Chains A and B, each alone.
Chain A
């Protein structure tokens, strides 16, 4: 799949570098001093690179665990995120990564042990509190599992530290490692959804809603705790029917007992990222929609955002108790 693998010289002999390279025996290996020479330089086109992304193997030197952005949480008081990987296999047109990064290449930080140590240190530092660690901020948590081995390596760390909770956020069907593992109660596998028609148009290369539900059912059967993420909600004419059908599709199949949390978020992109995204995809209908700028963020118009949030919230309340619901933009209560 990858024709080129860029490797930082310092981690050329890391066992994980060898393991990952072994999966791509035909790829040309190119050595660099720092991954930023390839990933962060000016004069790159994300859209062109997305056609043939290269793999970059690097060492993460600091900031292994960072405080999660506001609104990125499911009820915990202390929220963190960590990114063993930058960029995503999927190509969702609303994704902020395409506006944030100059490069569409995938970066994998191979020094997992440093991330694990940072998680352990944080867990010990707040040993009497419930902490949440989110892994799906800069990438899909599971999509590249066959290459990264991410969950196989990280699950034991969380198993050993029950006050540290892990959210794996994904649209992927790569659940083999999870199915082979004993479920741990402090891990939530959170699947993101938009209605199928919207997914087909905007979430390129993402498995169908039906296939993701099938994956969730397997996990549910095994005893894993599941999350549902409707973030971002995407507007189209008749969205009410689309979302109503999606919720029905999900909650008629999934057992309420397996659902750990449900969250709802509106489309929101920092203005600079949005402008980059529009420049990359000027023909995209999503960006021609009813958007406005508010406090430096591009969002749907306020009244539409409120309408969508209220509608989806009310629909969800037909299926789940309030205690499972978490909103990034809380609806105005009537």
Chain B
């Protein structure tokens, strides 16, 4: 699942259309849209709003295998209008705190520092994008997910030659719309990372099959999970089946039997399975 935080409805609109996201009326705190692979929240302007919306989305599910993206427009002294940029460094202007998103995806665009300010600024800072949400978003999202899966993508909306007074809802939607392929590429890459993490962290289905047959205490459930993962590591093509342990009366005996089988299993690294 990809969670996207946009400050403004006009930033979100091109995504809602492109990904055919459906509004979800159950959520009254924020405007939420979603499909099977993506959730989008329109949080409003400011880092506090961004942090609150991020935490709100995180609370809706178990977000440990979700990716997070803050999408919006930003100003920059001399970058071209319409240029998409990932943030490789986030600076909170008021606290001077810094974050460094780990960009391991083969990003389809360049990257830049992004400074989050509390109030709009007339003067442009040097060598940084400027927005009003990213650090709130990042500080909140990094409580739930690893830094490789949390990113801010900004499209340059104004610079010294094209001041922010010229920005309209229509032009903002246009800027986002023209970068939808860049966004799409980033989302695809993040989905692949999410899938990798999900596969790594996934509890094997057999754990639940065993738990249906016998009663395992919480401690034993952990032990069972560990043993079945071991089983998969040693013989990935032949999962353990509860029926093969049906002679055992209780969970303790089942765990002992699984462990004994594993301990006696030969290991060769150059063979697929024994």
Contacts and interface: CB of A to CB of B under 8 A. Distances in A.
Contacts of B229: 282-283, 288
Contact of A33 (B98, B102, B103, B197): B98
Given A30-B88, A44-B147, A49-B148, A288 B230 contact: yes
A238 B270 CA distance: 12
Interface stretch (B13-21, B24-32, B231-239): B231-239
A38 B100 contact: yes
Contact of A282 (B106, B145, B233): B233
B196 A48 contact: yes
B100 A51 contact: no
A159 interface: no
B146 A43 contact: yes
Given A44-B147, A45-B146, A48-B146, A236 B267 contact: yes
Contacts of A286: 269
A287 interface: yes
B89 interface: yes
Given A28-B88, A33-B98, A236-B268, A285 B233 contact: yes
Contacts of B234: 285, 288
Contacts of B105: 52
B253 interface: no
B269 A202 contact: yes
Nearest to A48: B148
A182 B146 CA distance: 48
Contact of B98 (A32, A43, A238): A32
B269 A197 contact: yes
Nearest to A202: B269
Interface centre among B105, B111, B148 (most CB of A within 10 A): B148
B267 A289 contact: yes
A51 B189 CA distance: 13
Contact of B147 (A32, A41, A198): A41
A235 B100 contact: no
Contacts of A280: 200
B110 interface: yes
Interface in B225-274: 229-234, 236, 262-263, 266-270, 274
A48 B270 contact: no
Contacts of A200: 269-270
A321 interface: no
Contacts of B263: 290
B236 A283 contact: yes
Interface in A14-31: 28, 30-31
27 contacts: A4-B88, A4-B103, A4-B111, A28-B88, A30-B100, A32-B98, A41-B147, A43-B143, A44-B147, A44-B148, A45-B197, A47-B200, A48-B104, A48-B197, A51-B104, A52-B103, A52-B104, A103-B102, A200-B269, A236-B269, A237-B268, A237-B274, A283-B232, A288-B233, A288-B267, A289-B267, A290-B267
Given A236-B268, A288-B230, 19 more contacts: A4-B111, A28-B111, A37-B98, A37-B100, A41-B100, A43-B142, A48-B104, A49-B148, A52-B103, A52-B105, A197-B269, A198-B269, A201-B269, A202-B269, A234-B269, A283-B229, A285-B233, A288-B262, A290-B263
